[in-house]
Structure formats: C-alpha cells, structure tokens
Amino acid sequence: MKRRLGSVRARATLATTVVVAIALVAAGTAVLLSLRFTLTDKADAEADSVARNAASALANGFAYDELNLPDGDENPVEVLDRKEKPVAVGEDVEGMNVTAAASDRLNSETNDDADDRAEGDREIEDNDALTAGEVTDETWYGEGTATVEGVTAQYRFAAVDVITPGGALLTVYAGAPLSTQQEAVDVALTTMLIGLPLLLLTVSAVTYVVTKRALRPVEGIRAEMAAITASEDLSRRVPEPDTHDEIARLARTTNETLAALETSVERQRAFVADASHELRSPIASLRTQLEVGSAHPELLDLEGAVEDTVRLQSLAADLLLLARLDAGERPPPEARFDLAEVVAEEVSSRDGVTLDSVKSVEVRGSRNQICRVLGNLLDNARRHARDRVAVTLRTDADQVVLQVADDGSGVPLADRDRIFERFVRLDESRARDDGGAGLGLAIAKDIAIRHSGTLTVADAPGGGALFELRLPLT
C-alpha cells in the first residue's frame, strides 16, 4: 500500500480525484442553490399574482362572499382585517400559519395611534400611502404552512394591502405550494449523489490509465539505468521516446550524462594505464641499476639512478597536480599577483630566451600554477627550437596575452588540439629520451582553464610554434 501511494500514478490519480470532487461538490451546491432560488422566485410570482387578483376584486367593491378565490390545495388564500381576523378564506382552507416576515407587515404602513388600533376599523386617513379602492404596490413575502382538507403542507406566501371603497384596510395572503420546488431539488440532489461517485470513479480510472501510459517511458528509463548500474556497462543508453515533452528531454539528458560519464571513465582508465606505463619505465630502470649496484658496486651508474629518481619524482608531481585539477581545484578569487614580474623571473633563469614585456600587469590566480604554465611552455619550446625562444607579454582589451614562440618545426594543424591531451607525444622516439611524459602541455591547458583563460597554439611569424596564453585582467 505504501509503495502504491508513493507512486506518481497513485498521487496524480488521488490529487485529480480530490480536485474534481471539490469542483463537483461546489458546482452541485451552486446548481441546487440556483434551482432553489429560481423556483422560489417562481412561487413568489405565483403567490403575488393570486394575492393581487383577490386584492383588486376587493378594491373594486366585491363583497367577501363574492370573491372568486382559487382552490385551497393549489393556492390557499386568506383575507385579514385590521385586527388580523379572517374575513374571507379560500375553499377547503382550514388554517394558515405565515412566518413573521410577512405577517408583521400587516400594520407597517399604519400610524401608531393606540385609539385607532382599538376601534377595529381602519380609516383612510390612517394610511397616507393608500386611498379608497387602491391596492398597495408593495408585496411582502414569507414561508409557512397551510392546512387544506386536513393536510398540512409548506407554502410560499405573498401579502398585499388593499383599501376597500368603504375605507376598510385589509391584507390578502395568498400561497403557492413548495412541493414542486422540493421535488425538483430532491431529484437534482439524488441525481448528483448517484452521478458524483460514478463520475469520480471514471475520472480516477482515466487519470490512472493516462498517467500510466505517460510514465511508461520513465519506467523504461529506470529499468535501463538499473541494468546499467548492475552491468557497469556505460556504453548502454536509455530509450528515448519519439515525443517532444519533458520525458523525452529527460531521456536525452540522461544519455548525454551517460556519454559524458563513459568518456570520463575511459579517460580515467587511459590515464591510469598511461601513468602506470610511464611510471614503470623509470622504476624498472632504477631497480635494475640498484640490483646491479648491489651485486657489483663498481658498475653502479649513480648519475643515471639520480636522473631516473628525478624523473620519477617529476612525474609523480605532475600526476598529483593533474589529480587536484581534475578534482576541481581552483585558485582563491582574492589571490592576485604581478604576471610581468613572474615572467621576468622565469625568463632570467634560462639562457637563449628573449623577452618583450610590459612593466607590470596584475592578474587573479595562483602565482605558482601560472609559473608552472610558463615553465612548461618554455621547456617545450626549448626542446623543439633550433636557435631561439621568444616570450612576449602584452595586454589586449580586458585580457593579458602571454606568447611563447620558437623557431622549430612547428605543430601540424591536425595535431594542434591533440597535443594538449595527456601522455600525447608527437615524437615518441625522442620525447622519452628528453624526459617528457606528455603531461606538460596538458597541465598547462588545465591550469589556464581553471584561471578562466585559454591556451592555444598557432604558427610563429618566423616559423615554428607559437603558444598563446590569455588570462582576464583583474
């Protein structure tokens, strides 16, 4: 049960059913109230018409016993004098009980003279609003009961004042039955009570089926992701529905994530394999030299052992730096330094390197890491240069541009992106002898990116390679 209520289908179905139920109850209540008000207005109009017909006859001088009053079971009528005593009643009407809303209006237009109330006859002067032979324009309404032939029922009553030609003030009460209203309301209520549950069941079933069909691709994505997790096969992809909705976009985004993850894992595996390969050579060489030196001390190549140790140490440092960069290490945003000073110091420690630099330019980032970038570029340029290496530092709009150029053979156009990959050496036969592991340019590229900059390679003006580092100014 918890699992079903926890599903999207169950929650969507429940929410839709509750919303529809509230809407139907509200709409049904409004319909019932509107029906009741409409039928009440109709009963008021019917009662007013009967009361005014009787009042008009009295105003025209008809005697009480000559009034043509309707049957009591259809429209009970009662005529009261000033003392609220019946002077005429409809046929078979045994009694009427009208709510105060109507009956209290009987004397509302009279004056408050106590002597006149006690006389039993209303004079024309006592009602300034009416004259002899006139019917009031105002009608008062109320509800009550009337007993006709021993049967008591609910009625809607209308009360109208009239003054006879003889000056007597009378009030005519006429009723309209509420049985029709009650029957109509009962039928509508019964229909709603029967139809509402059926409609809710239909809405729930349709919502459940539609939601199930809409979420079927999600279940396919979930099942495939579970299979990928179990098999650890990142080459698999989740199914993409042939729609243009959120689920299709979710599937595409999931596949893009899987592709990026597969690439990352493959890159990690290649990195581990290449690192193991690169570490194995100096370690094997160092072990061989140590074993030979242990057996024959006079044959120990101490200089070679030191070189292998330095090479191994440098490679370990490069791998550690790459690991930190892969982990997202970035320089603190508040760190700043003078790049011109760093360039001048690095160039001064190397022979055969010319410098054309601005006096001072401040950038944000890690001084040590940018120094490492420049060192790697200079090392790479020295390995490939014939005679000279030139360094230029200048500003360009909101960027600082550091260029390192050599007069070597340059970098082929097809390899200009590839040389920034890890463990890539364009000249395999020479790179290992020179001590390069194919990590220098990769490290320089990653550091440039971590400093919101770029590192590219192009042709130098005088031939050779031109590496350009661009960093944002502070």
pLDDT tens, position by position, 305-348: 777 787 788 778 877 887 777 777 777 777 889 999 999 999 98
The confidence score (pLDDT) of residue 118 equals 31
Of the two residues 300 and 337, the one the predictor is more confident about is: 337
Phi/psi of residue 9, each to 5°? -60, -45
Region of 133 please: left (phi>0), alpha (psi -120 to 50) or beta.
left
| Distance between first and last Cα of the chain | 61
The confidence score (pLDDT) of residue 148 equals 87
Residues 159 and 164: their CA atoms lie apart, in Å, by 16
Q: At 394, is the pLDDT very low, low, confident or very high (cuts 50, 70, 90)?
A: very high
How would CATH label the architecture of 246-326? Answer: Orthogonal Bundle (1.10)
Q: At 122, is the pLDDT very low, low, confident or very high (cuts 50, 70, 90)?
A: very low
Domain 336-472: assigned CATH number: 3.30.565.10
CB atoms within 10 A of CB 313: 11
Residues 435 and 380: their CA atoms lie apart, in Å, by 11
Match 């039955």 to its residue by tokens: 177
The string of DSSP letters for 309-375 reads HHHHHHHHHHHHHHHHHHTT----TT-EEEHHHHHHHHHHTSTTEEEEE-S--EEES-HHHHHHHHH
Q: Indicate if the pLDDT at residue 127 is higher than 50.
A: no
Close Cβ partners of 342 (under 8 Å, ≥ 6 residues apart): 367, 370, 371, 374
Per DSSP (E only), the strands in 40-191 are: 77-80, 86-89, 93-98, 134-148, 151-163, 169-177
Residues found in the chain: 474
The confidence score (pLDDT) of residue 264 equals 80
In the chain, list all ranges with CATH 3.30.565.10: 336-472
Q: For residue range 405-426, list pLDDT tens digits in order.
A: 998 888 888 888 888 888 777 6
Are 221 and 250 contacting, i.e. CB atoms less than 8 angstroms apart? yes
Number of H helices, E strands in the chain: 11, 13
The confidence score (pLDDT) of residue 166 equals 85
Identify the weakest region by mean pLDDT among 58-62, 166-170, 277-281.
277-281
Closest CA to 361 of 388, 379, 386, 337: 337
Residues 46 and 95: their CA atoms lie apart, in Å, by 20
Mean pLDDT of 27-50: 91
Average pLDDT of the chain to the nearest whole number: 82
Phi/psi of residue 394, each to 5°? -150, 170
The confidence score (pLDDT) of residue 427 equals 59
Write down the pTM of the prediction: 0.50
Q: Indicate if the pLDDT at residue 73 is higher than 60.
A: yes
Q: For residue range 429-447, list pLDDT tens digits in order.
A: 344 445 466 788 988 998 9
Q: At 129, is the pLDDT very low, low, confident or very high (cuts 50, 70, 90)?
A: low
Of the two residues 414 and 123, the one the predictor is more confident about is: 414
The confidence score (pLDDT) of residue 453 equals 92
Q: Indicate if the pLDDT at residue 112 is higher than 60.
A: no
Q: At 30, is the pLDDT very low, low, confident or very high (cuts 50, 70, 90)?
A: very high
Calculate ∠ Cα 407-413-414, nearest 5°. 135
In the chain, list all ranges with CATH 1.10.287.130: 246-326
Q: Indicate if the pLDDT at residue 368 is higher than 60.
A: yes
The two tokens of residue 400 are 């600082």
Closest CA to 350 of 319, 385, 317, 324: 385
Mean pLDDT of 222-231: 89
Closest CA to 365 of 395, 409, 330, 402: 330
Q: Determine what percent of the chain is predicted with pLDDT higher than 90.
A: 28
Alpha helices of 60-178 — where are they, by DSSP H? 100-103, 114-119
Q: Indicate if the pLDDT at residue 275 is higher than 80.
A: no
Q: Name the 3-class secondary structure at 457.
A: strand
Mean pLDDT of 164-180: 89
Q: Indicate if the pLDDT at residue 402 is higher than 50.
A: yes
246-295 helix and 302-326 helix, angle to the nearest 10 degrees: 160
CB atoms within 10 A of CB 403: 18
The confidence score (pLDDT) of residue 340 equals 92
Mean pLDDT of 361-373: 91
Identify the weakest region by mean pLDDT among 94-103, 128-137, 228-237.
94-103
- Hey, what amino acid is at 361? V
